[in-house]
Structure 1
Amino acid sequence: MRRMNARFIERLPLAGVHPALAYLATAGLCLIALALRLVADPVLASGYPYVSFFPAVVIAAFLFGRSAAVLAGVLCWLMAWYFFIPPAGVFKFNGNIAVSFIFYLLVVVIDIALIHWMQLANTKLAEERARGAALAEHREMLFRELQHRVSNNLQVAAALMALQRRNIDHPGARKALDEASHRLSLIGKISRALYDPTGQRLSVHSFVETLASDILEANGRNDVRIEMAIAPDVAMDPDSAIPFALIMAEAIANALEHAFADDRGGCIRITITGDEGLTLDIVDDGCGLPDGFALENSGSLGLRIAATLAQQLGGTFRLSNAETGGVRAHLAIPAAA
């Protein structure tokens, strides 16, 4: 209801569409004011000739604009002069009548001017609001186009690496290109899926399942089951989304490579909570870490990347043996990150 009233007010004055109808309606308002004054005349004290005509002028100014209000002011003045200023029935002029005319003129001019300035300000406000909405829509379109192009460029770079891999015989180099191609492709997918043009905090629940499924599919592991426990109120800043998703991807890939080697099936449980920051736990049911394992001494590039990204977010990433067996990858990002 409030929005409908606001839209109606923004359309005022209405005279711009059909001026003739506006002037006709203004004349009708003046006649209504005359009728009301005639009805009230027996109970009104003398000296109030304009009492019912001021509202007619104000309504005409509000609904139909300045020109219609001027017409209403003139018509109401003539009606009041002829019918209610003694001697009634004639247009007599003297000093007292001139003073009443001056006061009537001042009141009418002030009313019309105030309403006119208010409507000008309201019109400018509506124009600025429309301009702001258009700019916001244009900004969103540019943002989406930018995200689309960035994602496409990353996909192209990943495809070029995959093509270059065919010309390399060294197993280590081929593996490095495979991993780099996979990471670039993953960044492109995450960038397109997670970033919001408004910069609002993002819901984590909607993309984790898709991300985990993509990783399993990319590694050809349909024998590994994903279980998730994600708090419903978990959210993150857009700037943290890609690093968080990459760390999660590296932890899942590490579990697939070591916990479920030799086509061994199993389960990976993903737990995400948002209490005092953002916490990610990825637990597999594999054989656990080897004796003497230290993340800082690990030869895995993916794990080193995960640890570096966690530091950039102001958090920590570590691997440990889970209480139920297997490996627990734990990421903790403080609330300020």
Structure 2
Amino acid sequence: MTTLRLHLFTLSDRVRFSPVVAWGIAFAAFACAVYARFLFDHVLPPGFPYLTFFPAVILTAFLAGLLPGAVCALACGIAAWYWFIPPFGSFSLDTSVLVALAFYVCVVGVDILLIQVMHRAVDGLREERARSGDLVREQRRLLGEQKDRERQQRILQRELSHRMKNTLAMVQAVVSQSLRNNPDPKLAAGLASARIQALARAQDALTATDWSAADVETLVRTAVSPHDDGTGRFRIDGPSLSLEAQRSLGLALAIHELATNATKYGALLTEAGIVTILWDSPDGNGFRFSWIESGGPGVAEPLRRGFGSRLTERVVPAYFKGSARTQYTRGGLKYELEGTLRPDETDLAPD
């Protein structure tokens, strides 16, 4: 039953929005009502002039709308007055005719009014349903966005925790090794402080890119900036490459150690010394970094390996899943690092 009512109101909407169909229904309903009234005139008792006209008016008003319904009601009233209210075949007026016409006007007027009220109520329900649907869709959208934000927040929290653990572990290793390998507390504290500052400068470079990656050239220039006097002693060259956070911090530490040693013992100790820093990516995901000193005093391999050497030759290469080697020659120190440019999936998995 509910489905039938929905179909009737849907049909009414289609008819009302098509003037040709609406007026066609009005004319057809009037014609059928007149024909049916003539057809059954001989079997109907006296006093029922409007019997077939009421359904025509109601049907027209419901399907075709207010104006076609009113016109159909007017035409039906005139036809009933002329043909089926005595004296037949005339538009005479007397008390009985006025009463019959008034009765007809009241009935069809109430019918049309009720039909229009019903249509307005149904239209209002449709609009309310549409608004409710929009609200439900908007609520679902907001809930979806909230879930996305919560999921993104959880990811960011895990990523932040992962980065903090890595950074703290690196700081802990720097401090621990600096204190362990230097009997003088002041010297150890100075070394640890310098190394932590190098990490901080690398983190500044990462912060500029929301910790997603750091440009190698930016990282190199930031790391050597405390040792660069602006006279062109650093020759830096390499393609535009990006390193993720842990690799960036490791490379910054390695450059800091190399620059510190060059200042104390190598090319930066003399005015003629030059440091050439090169890098490239040979196969798309490979990474090769070179630190080449020239013009400084000759260097010899140290008898004792300190934390700086272990850092540049073991710790940092592990971040790059690769290896490193240091050559001590009469022309100066040469350091080469080879590994991967980007981490694999296991490196990216959160702790």
Which structure has the larger Rg over C-alpha atoms? 2
**Against the structure 1 CA distance between its residues 299 and 198, is the aligned structure 2 distance closer, same or farther, given a 3 Å change threshold?**
closer
**Distance 1:262-1:123 versus aligned 2 partners, 3 A rule:** closer
Letter paired with 1:247 = A
> Could you tell me how far apart the structure 2 residues matched to 1:201 and 1:262 are?
33
Q: Which residue of 2 aligns with 1:235?
A: 242
Query: Residue 46 of structure 1 aligns to a residue in which SS?
Result: helix
Count of paired positions = 251
Match of 1:213 in 2: 225
User: 1:331 is matched by which residue type in structure 2?
Assistant: L
CA–CA separation in structure 2 for the residues paired with 1:270 and 1:262: 17
For normalisation by structure 1, the TM-score amounts to: 0.53
Task: Name the % identity.
Answer: 13
- Is 1:284 the counterpart of 2:293? The answer is yes
| CA distance, structure 1, for counterparts of residue 324 and residue 128 of structure 2 | 70
Partner of 2:212, secondary structure, is: coil
Out of 28, 41, 62, the residue aligned to residue 19 of structure 2 is 41
2-structure distance, mates of 1:44, 1:101: 19
User: Quick one: structure 1 residues 47 and 315, their matched pair in 2 at CA, closer, same or farther if it must change by over 3 Å?
Assistant: farther
Q: 2:234 aligns with which of 205, 226, 229?
A: 226
Residues 1:314 and 2:321 are matched in the alignment: yes
- Report the equivalent of 1:333: 339
SS in 1 for 2:274: strand
Change (3 A) 1:186 1:290: closer
Gap change, CA 1:280 and 1:189, over 3 Å in 2: same
Superimposed CA distance per residue, residues 158-178 of structure 1 (whole angstroms, 9 cap, x where no aligned partner): 99xx9x9xxxx976x554433
Residue type at the aligned position of 2:276: R
Letter in 2 for 1:308: R
Amino acid at match of 2:258: A
Unpaired segments of 5 or more residues in structure 1?
1-36, 49-76
- Give yes or no for contact 1:288–1:327 (8 Å, CA) kept in 2: no
2:141 to 125, 134, 139: 125
When the two structures are superposed, what TM-score results if normalisation uses the length of structure 2? 0.51
Contact 1:252 1:282 in 2 (8 A): no
Tell me the distance in 2 between the aligned counterparts of 1:45 and 1:205.
80
What's the offset of the Cα at 1:212?
0.8
Cα deviation for residue 235 of structure 1 reads 0.7
Confirm whether residue 179 of structure 1 aligns to residue 204 of structure 2: no
Alignment CA distance shift 1:336-1:282 (3 Å): same
Give the residue type in structure 2 aligned to 1:118: D
Structure-2 residue corresponding to 1:255: 262
What is the deviation of 1:268? 1.2
CA root-mean-square deviation = 5.5
Residues 1:271 and 1:176: Cα distance change in structure 2 (over 3 Å): same
Check whether the contact 2:22–2:64 (CA below 8 A) recurs between aligned residues: no
Q: Which amino acid aligns with 2:292?
A: V
Q: Where in structure 2 are the equivalents of 1:1-337 lying within 5 Å?
A: 41=19, 46-47=24-25, 81-85=65-69, 87-88=72-73, 90-91=108-109, 93=111, 113=129, 116-126=132-142, 129=145, 174-195=186-207, 199-214=211-226, 216=227, 225-232=233-240, 234-260=241-267, 262-274=269-281, 275-286=284-295, 293=301, 299-309=305-315, 310-320=317-327, 325-337=331-343
Q: For 1:279, what is the secondary structure of its paired residue? A: strand
Asked if 1 retains the 8 angstrom alpha-carbon contact of 2:233 and 2:275, the reply is: yes
